Structure 1
Amino acid sequence: MPQPPAVESPEWWRDRLYAALCKRTEETNKYDHYYECEHPLPFLHEKARDPFRRLLKMSRANYCELVVDAFVGRLEVAGFQSDIEGDADDKAWRLWQENNLDGGSQLAFLEAAIRGNAYLMVEPDQRGGFRITPEHPTQVIVAYRPEAPGVPAAALKLWLDDWTGRLCCTVYLPGKIYKFDAQEPKAGGKPVWARRQVKGEQWGGKNVLGEVPFGELSNRPRMLKPGASELRSVTGIQDRINKTIADRMMTQEFAAFPQKWVTGMEIPQDENGQDIEPFDVAVNKILIAEENGAKFGQFAAADLTGYLKGKEADVHDIAAITSTPPHYLLGSMVNLSAEALKAAEAGLIHKIYQRRRFLEEGLERTMRLAGIASSQARIVWKSPEWRTEGELVDALVKMSTLGVPREVLWERWGATPQEIERWRRLNEEALQRAMSSDLAAEYGPKPPPDPDDDPQVE
């Protein structure tokens, strides 16, 4: 029987992190399915499921997607800002733009909101700079030292090479990098790993960064628990909504059309003595009976109000639990004042500020790995609050009367650090031009007087 690998050996980390990654992926796939509107079909008895399958598929209303998008849509990095002289801000922003992280960070924020975690990987590139890429939480996992929470001990990156059909993984330790591959295992099986040799590289190559090269973006973590999905508390409510819609649709299908009745007439029969349905009831048909005593009537149509109110109550539960403004989910805005809209969004704004604190930790670690010290360039976010220009300008004008510097007012306006620097430079150039013009007018050569304007000249 083979001996288990030594603790903290590359093989030990590989097996440990692979098992943890598979477990986490299996647990978080549920939330990915809910975001993608792949909810479980509402429950029905097996005998009724096939006839009503079409209605069941139509009953899924995806509120989970709205919850996530309302949150992630207001997470946007505007730039970097330092408290020291130098080009740290510009250097950080150039690195951000060179790696297309305007879009890449949004992808990472979205996956973190859905699955609880996402990652940014830092690698040296051939030009002497750094390459930063967003990494999916089903392909990367980071382990931290138990005696020092927050200090990465190792990481695993896993992917399927569909060119060769091989399962590949790389173990990142602070000092070394180890690469493995295996034949893709069958369902439920474990891969049989072997060392993966790369041409021109030594197996167990040096990690030039000297640290685990990942910044982890965690959504709503706790002290002894990793990040969690925004959908963790609402999947059950989403199932209730789908069940209510399914019941309503079946009621619409079979009971919303008023059922007719008739008395006082003879039911016709076929040649075998079987009763024949006397009428083909439809909205464009007229019922006629030849018997003098025949009477017609109809039952009341099914009332759908209860289903509609039940669904609306469940939607309000989702709004309350996730701090999502109700009008985002209900799609109705009736006579809402600006103050009422602001109050409705207060919970969402508070949640965004709270979540950003933990996302900043991963972003700052990523920039530090890429040579940008976090103390020199902190993250600047775009404001998540939506206000009219009139409200904002009025507030800024009042702040200016208190002596608030223009740069601070520009920042409150929503300008990025790069825009603020450009505006400051334009103001300085305009001031210099104005001063040069004033000095030229005061001390420059004067044109000779016009004799016609001199009253003493005749």
Structure 2
Amino acid sequence: MPQPAVESPEWWRDRLYEKLSKRSGDTEVFDAYYECEHPLPHLHEKARAPFRRLLKMSRANYCELVVDAFVGRLEVAGFQSDVEGDADQAAWRLWQENNLDGGSQLAFLEAAIHGTAYLMVSPASGGGFRITPEHPTQVIVEYRPDASGVPAAALKLWLDDWTAKLCCTVYLPDRIYKFEAPEPKAGGRPRWSRREVTGEEWGGTNVLGEVPFGELANRPRMLKPGASELRSVTGIQDRINKTISDRMMTQEAAAFPQKWATGMEIPLDDNGQEIEPFDVAVNKILIAEDAGAKFGQFAAADLSGYLKAKVEDVHDIAAITSTPPHYLLGSLVNLSAEALKAAEAGLIHKIYQRRRFLEEGLERTMRLAGFASSQARIVWKSPEWRTEGELVDALVKMGSLGVPREVLWERWGATPQEIERWRKLGEDALDRALAGDVAAEYGPKPTAPASGPVEG
């Protein structure tokens, strides 16, 4: 079968499908770790069946805590504009209309797990734009090799379970091409054909004039795509699971310490076989008639080594991922506010660093929806947690230095929409106060006399 021409729709389809399939296979590993579907700890094959229940119980999912501690502090508060007008309010309305308070959180979560996620911009049927979060196993974007950061093409792939067909759409800056294929067998390649949509021309115009995706990359490098937050800790997670499984098997074997008895005759059955003289249980007493009988038990297994090994592995995860140790260990021992702040300093720094790259994708998304960067600059909620007393004290001191009140409100954590509402409330209150001062100084305005005959 002849190969498609380079940069033809079919060439992009096959190229991006292959890349997406490879990436999905790699990233599904991290998805399994986040969902607590870790590989079971290794045991000898003969021992796996009896201890399978214990192996499944040994999974302690620290990967989920690492991701959630990071994503939980990524929240878009609004937009700021450097131009006159209500561009920032319009951008926020678009954000709300597309339910992106929750949609952006979904995209941030997938980016942290898989290394990247996407926001897709498409024209809405009633005018305006529709913005949807897209999963990294269904979308892939390729950039021009001669122009860094400029998208050349994108592919969106999904399985239509209504028709049992594999569907894909190729997005080029000027055109959009749709394909379909019967669902392929495992390991097989799809046999693509054109997907005709009623009322649409195949190879229709891309009205945006650009590849319609904003990529939310997590910790990208210059020549490498975004990377999962879990990339460096899956091995440590396996170590923790192994330690827990070993501890549980030790507990299983040593729940009742082995007993011993000496100085007594062991009874025999009719066939001359020895009979175990005692049925040992926690609610039974051992009694022997032999005068020289003695009883005892072996020492219980020491589990402290297992517990210490697990704690050390958790500390390794905390150090590598900049996650505060008390988030993972769940223990606080007389820590001061300064100590807690120092423990979270690494996480806060990581969040600020990751946000720079996520912000690029968000700004591109808003630009595709018609907002220039000067009209829709992203405003994030602060990732730092402070007590209200600390924050108020700091703001009062800043206010005494002449810092404008709008800046103080922003430092407080107010969204651009709240700041605008507070400013308007202040202006209205000032207008009412000024109107009251004028009335108090000059009295009410005189009223015109009623018309009627004038007496002479």
Q: Distance in 2 between matches of 1:92 and 1:119?
A: 18
Amino acid at match of 1:47: K
Q: Deviations over 1:31-69 (max 9, x none)?
A: 000000000000000000000000000000000000000
Match for residue 210 of structure 2? 211
In structure 2, the partner of 1:314 is 313
Instruction: State the 1:277 CA deviation.
Output: 1.4
Distance 1:46 1:186 in 2: 31
Q: State the distance in 2 between where 1:51 and 1:276 align.
A: 26
Q: Distance in 2 between matches of 1:176 and 1:360?
A: 27
Whether 1:14 and 2:13 are equivalent positions in the alignment is yes
Query: Using the alignment, how far apart are the partners of 1:123 and 1:386 within structure 2?
Result: 37
Counterpart of 2:449 in structure 1 is: none
SS of equivalent residue, structure 1 residue 345:
helix
Say whether 1:379 aligns with 2:378: yes
**Does the Cα contact within 8 Å between 1:256 and 1:303 map onto a contact in 2?**
no
For the Cα contact (< 8 Å) 2:83–2:374, is it kept in 1? no
Distance (Å, rounded) in 2 between the aligned partners of 1:274 and 1:78: 80
Aligned residue identity for 1:33: A
Task: Decide whether the 8 Å contact of 1:119 with 1:140 is kept in 2.
Answer: yes
Post-superposition Cα deviations, 1:92-137, rounded to whole Å, max 9, x if no partner, equal: 0000000000000000000000000100000001222000000000
Which digits, 9 at most, give the CA deviation of each residue in 1:260-299, with x for residues without a partner?
1110011112222222211121221111111000001111
Q: CA deviation at 1:446?
A: 10
Corresponding residue for 1:452?
Answer: none
- Amino acid corresponding to residue 205 of structure 1 in structure 2: G
Q: What are the ranges of 5 or more consecutive residues in structure 1 without an aligned counterpart? A: 448-458
User: Residue 315 of structure 2 aligns to a residue in which SS?
Assistant: helix
| 1:140 maps to 2:135 | no
Q: 1:379 & 1:271 partners in 2: Cα distance?
A: 88
Structure 2 CA distance for aligned equivalents of residues 307 and 256 of structure 1? 16
Partner of 2:360: 361
- Aligned 8 A contact 2:116 2:217 in 1: yes
Which residue is 1:349 aligned to?
Answer: 348
Structure 1 residue 232 displacement after superposition: 0.2
Q: What displacement does 1:256 show? A: 4.0
Give the match for residue 400 of structure 1: 399
Q: Which moved more, 1:348-357 or 1:252-261?
A: 252-261
Aligned partners of 2:302, 2:235: CA distance in 1, in Å? Answer: 26
Deviation at 1:375, TM superposition (A): 2.2
Name 1:46's counterpart in structure 2.
Answer: 45
TM-score (norm 1): 0.96
**3-state SS in 2 of match to 1:52:** helix
Distance 2:132 2:200 in 1: 22
Aligned counterparts of 2:352 and 2:4: Cα–Cα separation in 1: 44
Distance 1:9 1:274, change over 3 A: same
What residue number does 1:102 align with?
101
- The structure-2 alpha-carbon separation of the partners of 1:202 and 1:445, relative to structure 1 and needing over 3 Å to count, comes to closer
- Alignment of 1:31 with 2:30, yes or no, is yes
Q: Secondary structure at the match of 1:439?
A: helix
Name structure 2 gaps, 5 residues minimum.
447-456
Give the Cα–Cα distance (whole angstroms) in 2 for the partners of residues 144 and 73 of structure 1. Answer: 30
Contact preservation (8 Å) 1:75, 1:106: yes
Q: 1:224 is matched by which residue type in structure 2?
A: L
SS at match of 1:51: helix
- 2: distance between equivalents of 1:242 and 1:26? 23
Counterpart for residue 150 of structure 1: 149
Q: TM-score, normalised by structure 2?
A: 0.97
Q: Distance in 2 between matches of 1:347 and 1:445?
A: 64
Q: Report if aligned partners of 1:220, 1:358 keep a CA contact under 8 Å in 2.
A: yes
Paired-residue identity, %: 85
Number of the residue aligned with 2:436: 437
3-state SS of paired residue (1:215): strand
The answer as to 2:409 corresponding to 1:410 is yes
Which secondary structure does the structure 1 equivalent of 2:50 belong to?
coil
Q: Distance in 2 between matches of 1:339 and 1:222?
A: 34
Q: Is 1:248–1:304's contact at 8 Å kept on the other side of the alignment? A: yes
User: Secondary structure of 1:131's match?
Assistant: strand
**Alpha-carbon distance in structure 1 between the residues aligned to 2:251 and 2:334:** 32
The alpha-carbon deviation at position 257 of structure 1 amounts to 2.5
Deviation track 1:380-422 (CA, whole Å, cap 9, x = no partner) reads 0000000000000000000001000000000000000000000
Deviation at 1:258, TM superposition (A): 1.8
User: RMSD across aligned C-alpha pairs, in angstroms?
Assistant: 1.0
Distance in structure 1 (CA, Å) of the matches to 2:335 and 2:270: 68
User: Once superposed, which parts of structure 1, at least 4 consecutive aligned residues long, lie more than 2 Å away?
Assistant: none
What SS is found at the alignment partner of 1:168? strand
Displacement of 1:445 in angstroms is 4.3
